[in-house]
Amino acid sequence: MKSKYLHALPLSHISINDAYWNRYTKLIAAKAIPYQWGILNDRVTDTPPSYCLYNFRIAAGEISGERKGTEFLDSDAAKWLEAAAYCLASSPDAELEKNADDLIDLIGRAQCEDGYINTYFTLVEPERRWKNLTEGHELYCAGHLIEAAVAYYEVTGKTTLLRIASRFADLICKVFGPGETQLHGCPGHPEIELALVRLFDVTKESRYLNLAAYFVDVRGASPNYFLEEMARPGFRHMPSFHLVFNEPKDFDPSYSQSHLPVRVQNTAEGHAVRALYLYCAMADIAALRNDKALLNQCVRLWNNIVEKRMYITGSVGSSGFLERFTTDYDLPNDSNYSETCASIGLALFGLRLSRITKDASYIDTCELSLYNTVRAGISLEGSRYFYVNPLEVLPQNCMAHTSRAHVKPVRQKWFDVACCPTNIARTFSSLGQYIYSVNESENEKEVYVNLFISNNTKFEINGTQVELVLTTDYPRSGKISIEIKTGGTAFTLAVRIPSFAENFSILVNGEPADGSIIKGYYKIRRTWESGGGIDVSFGIVPHIVYANPLVCANCGKIAVVRGPEVYCFEEADNGTGLAAVFLSPNAVLTEEWNPDLFGGTMLIHCKGKKLVSSGTAASFSSTDKPHFEDITLTALPYGSWANRTPGEMIVWVHELMQKIA
């Protein structure tokens, strides 16, 4: 079934060596993974203990103590393991592998007789297993464990964790399903659905795919499982959730996408990460089962997001409360969540849709998320993180105990709810999955080049070894060369031409190509000989983007973008009061390549105006007409913000018009 759609190449076949991305891929292996390992083991002294492995050790009976931390804390270990697997795929590391194996053994020892794994429900409330799907995160944690197991197996070939996770998955398959004695519920936080598809992918056990599909379709069925569960005698809120829905009557089913069956949901609703993980599974199942209606539903939800509910930085979740979707065009800049994990979910969803539809426009959005929001999620030292990704920050307004308390002007060492750091780690260590998509169906062999990240990749197509050497300084320029080393084989090379590319040209073996663009990919079908290749060239120039006037927060505002990167203005370059910056859409945007800043950064300089008070300092005045002063502005990529002295930051600035005297 799957062969109809594009698939990824194994990460171990892709060797990234890219000026732009080495800063992150090498950072994850060298800094983030060891730092996070220290956090999970409570060895980072200037940060409160995470209790993550501590809990597993108690569950394994190796130490005694009180289980601590959020009920979904186990998932941090799983996501770390998944990231570790991906790091091992690109470069062997005996110490890392030893740590991972030790952790896997620990998880194995913490597994219950019947296969169940969850330190919270094993240690704290064993009698309430599966009794709070709404908030309990058991299936969410299971999902991340399964993903880690699949990843670790795929990279190392080791089966210990896969067996552990499969035993757990088998238990879940017994507990949940349509049978009379089974529970007819689904997870409050989707994640296991896409994980079960991955487990199916390596095991080919159809029960996993069937359960994933069951979870997808039972969600939102009537009567609502979550509401019924909360109404049962003895239902108790999870410790972390008494703040969210204080009483069952306050519960909002859309928060967990259960307000309607997913097949009739036309807008992206509720908690953004939950939504996007769910949509990923929907896309997977649509592909594997050739379910056109479900695919159409995915496209409908995707379009609602990218057209009406997504920030220019590729982030989602407008509400400062519950990190959730709100309404069309509601995109406040300074009070939003725009959770890093939600952008990761968006990229995962877009990647799936690109593979099903062979449409490059989905990759445009993946790229937006990865180059801007996900990149902003981690410091250039690898050990500081953003959970929330605002587009406008006035540091003094990010006050504790106010409606902007969730917005931080500087990256944090860790979080009470620490989903993002390990999620960033697993995303950037598996960045290779985004670069290529391959079609190996019987009647068509295609290699899609999605992202322009220098790499050396080997794979087999038509039974022939092919090596691709992609070399570029993208996004500094739009020059990409792909050298093909092969004994000679025919396939279509499909190169994404980004929506922002200007005057693109493609040479094949030095001659103008005669392919054509289909859904954003320039497709060249030929027999490739060793030493051949293509040279892609397109202009990447800074330009102005206009906000839709329906976006209240941005009406009359413009932003500067360049290629996949959204730019922002920081206090370090531009002083304070950035909300008062006005920029003409005709302003000359001058590029400056600064090789010393953050390992090489393309800055953009321009002249603008700043609206300043003409006298009084009061917050409003009938007599004080503010006036414009000239200002020279410097913008830098949003993904690089907050790596210098903390200060103001802004993406959207006012469109400069001529003052009426």
| Smallest separation (angstroms) from its own copies to the CB of 331 | 6
Only one of the segments 11-19, 92-100, 115-123, 618-626 lies at the binding site for its own copies (rule: CB under 8 A); that segment is 618-626
Verify binding: residue 324, its own copies, rule CB under 8 A. yes
b/e burial code for range 19-31 (CB count within 10 A of at least 16 → b): ebbebbbbbbbeb
The number of beta carbons lying within 10 Å of the beta carbon of residue 535 is 17
Nearest to 427 by CA among 40, 11, 42: 11
Q: Is 227 in the site for its own copies (CB under 8 A)?
A: no
Question: Is there binding between residue 607 and its own copies (CB under 8 A)?
Answer: no
Q: Which is nearer to its own copies, 154 or 392 (CB)?
A: 392
Q: Can you tell me the distance from the alpha carbon of 363 to that of 653, in angstroms, rounded to the nearest whole number? A: 27
Does the protein bind its own copies through residue 579 (CB under 8 A)?
Answer: yes
Peptide bond into 223 cis (omega under 30): yes
> What is the DSSP-derived secondary structure letter of residue 289?
T
Separation between Cα atoms, residue 627 and residue 631, nearest integer Å: 13
Q: In the complex, what is the shortest distance from the CB of residue 320 to its own copies, in angstroms, rounded to a whole number?
A: 4
CB of 335 to its own copies, least distance (A): 6
Beta strand residue intervals within 378-435, DSSP E: 392-393
173 in catalytic set: no
Short-list 588, 591, 569, 589, CA closest to 579: 569
252 in contact with its own copies (CB under 8 A): yes
Query: Between β-strands 489-496 and 444-449, what pairing exists: parallel, antiparallel or unpaired?
Result: parallel
Q: Does 414 bind its own copies (CB under 8 A)?
A: no
Is residue 515 near its own copies by the rule CB under 8 A? no
Q: Which of residues 429-488 bind its own copies (CB under 8 A)?
A: none
Q: Is 619 in the site for its own copies (CB under 8 A)?
A: yes
Asked whether position 320 contacts its own copies by CB under 8 A, the answer is: yes
Is residue 616 part of the contact set for its own copies (CB under 8 A)?
A: yes
For residue 250, state whether it binds its own copies (rule: CB under 8 A): yes
- Which of 19, 112, 555, 572 binds its own copies (CB under 8 A)? It is 555
Q: Which stretch binds its own copies (CB under 8 A): 27-35, 36-44, 480-488, 578-586?
A: 578-586
For 287, the enclosing helix (H) or strand (E) is helix 272-288
State in angstroms the smallest separation of the CB of 429 from its own copies.
30
- The answer to whether 556 contacts its own copies (rule: CB under 8 A) is yes
Print the SS3 string covering 106-160. HHHHHCCCCCCCCHHHHHCCHHHCCCCCCCCCHHHHHHHHHHHHHHHHHHHCCCH
Identified binder of its own copies from the candidate list 133, 272, 551, 642, rule CB under 8 A: 551
584 lies in the binding site for its own copies (CB under 8 A): yes
CB of 139 to its own copies, least distance (A): 22
Task: Find the catalytic residue in 323, 339, 392, 648.
Answer: 323
User: Quick one: which of 544, 573, 598, 600 contacts its own copies (CB under 8 A)?
Assistant: 544
Among 179, 531, 549, 599, which residue interacts with its own copies (rule: CB under 8 A)?
549
CA angle 521, 525, 530 (to 5 degrees): 110
Extract the tokens encoding 20.
Answer: 């732009």
Minimum distance, C-beta of residue 27 to its own copies, in the bound complex (Å)? 30
Distance CA 477, CA 360 (A): 19
**Using CB under 8 A, which residues numbered 389 to 408 contact its own copies?**
392, 394, 396-397, 399-405
**Contact partners, residue 391, CB within 8 Å, separation at least 6:** 311, 312, 313, 333, 334, 336, 338, 568, 638, 650, 651, 652
Single out the segment in contact with its own copies by CB under 8 A; choices: 97-105, 146-154, 197-205, 580-588. Answer: 580-588
Residue 527 interacts with its own copies (CB under 8 A): yes or no: no
Pick the binder of its own copies from 159, 246, 290, 296 (CB under 8 A). Answer: 246
Q: Which of 91, 266, 548, 590 binds its own copies (CB under 8 A)?
A: 548
If the CB atoms of residues 432 and 639 are measured against its own copies, the closer one turns out to be 639
Distance CA 584, CA 168 (A): 59
Q: Count residues contacting its own copies (CB under 8 A)?
A: 82
341-400 positions binding its own copies, by CB under 8 A: 392, 394, 396-397, 399-400
Nearer to its own copies, 181 or 396 (CB): 396
Question: Taking contact as CB under 8 A, which single stretch among the options 86-94, 279-287, 506-514, 621-629 is the one that binds its own copies?
Answer: 621-629
- 545 lines the binding site for its own copies (CB under 8 A): yes
Nearer to its own copies, 94 or 618 (CB): 618
Rounded CA-CA distance 582/573 in Å is: 16
Active-site option among 366, 419, 568, 606: 419
Separation in Å, CA 618 to CA 338, 582, 615, 624: 33, 21, 9, 9
Q: Which of the residues 265 through 284 are near its own copies (CB under 8 A)?
A: none
Which CB, 425 or 551, lies closer to its own copies? 551
Q: Which two tokens stand for residue 22?
A: 């080495």
Cα 269 from Cα 259, distance rounded (Å): 9
When asked if residue 310 is in the footprint of its own copies (CB under 8 A), the reply is yes
**Which alpha helices (H) appear in 157-184, and where do they start and end?**
160-175
Q: Which residues contact 197 (CB under 8 A, 6 or more apart)?
A: 208, 209, 212, 281, 284, 285, 288
Looking at beta carbons only, is 296 or 403 nearer to its own copies?
403
Question: CB of 95: closest distance to its own copies in angstroms?
Answer: 37
Q: Minimum distance between the CB of residue 55 and its own copies, rounded to whole angstroms?
A: 20
In the region spanning residues 35 to 64, those forming contacts with its own copies, defined by CB under 8 A, are: none
Could you say whether residue 561 binds its own copies (CB under 8 A)? yes
Instruction: Considering only residues 73 through 112, tell me which ones interact with its own copies, judged by CB under 8 A.
Output: none
H or E element at residue 562: strand 557-562
CB 489 within 8 A of CB 527: yes
Distances (CA, A) of 250 to 243, 254, 255: 11, 12, 11
Least distance in angstroms from the C-beta of 494 to its own copies? 24
Among 176, 180, 181, smallest CA distance to 193 is for 176
Q: Is 444 a catalytic residue?
A: no
**Three-state SS for 637?**
strand
Residue 327, interface with its own copies (CB under 8 A)?
A: yes
Q: From the list 65, 465, 612, 632, which residue makes contact with its own copies (rule: CB under 8 A)?
A: 612
Burial class (CB in 10 A: 0-12, 13-18, 19+), 320: buried
The answer to the question of residue 559 lying near its own copies (CB under 8 A) is: yes
Structure tokens at 643: 């790596």
Binding window for its own copies (CB under 8 A); candidates: 93-101, 378-386, 551-559, 590-598: 551-559
Which residues touch 660 (CB under 8 Å, ≥6 apart)? Answer: none
Closer Cβ to its own copies, 463 or 620, answer by number? 620
CB 88 within 8 A of CB 101: no
By C-beta, is 321 or 593 nearer to its own copies? 321
User: Known catalytic residues?
Assistant: 323, 419
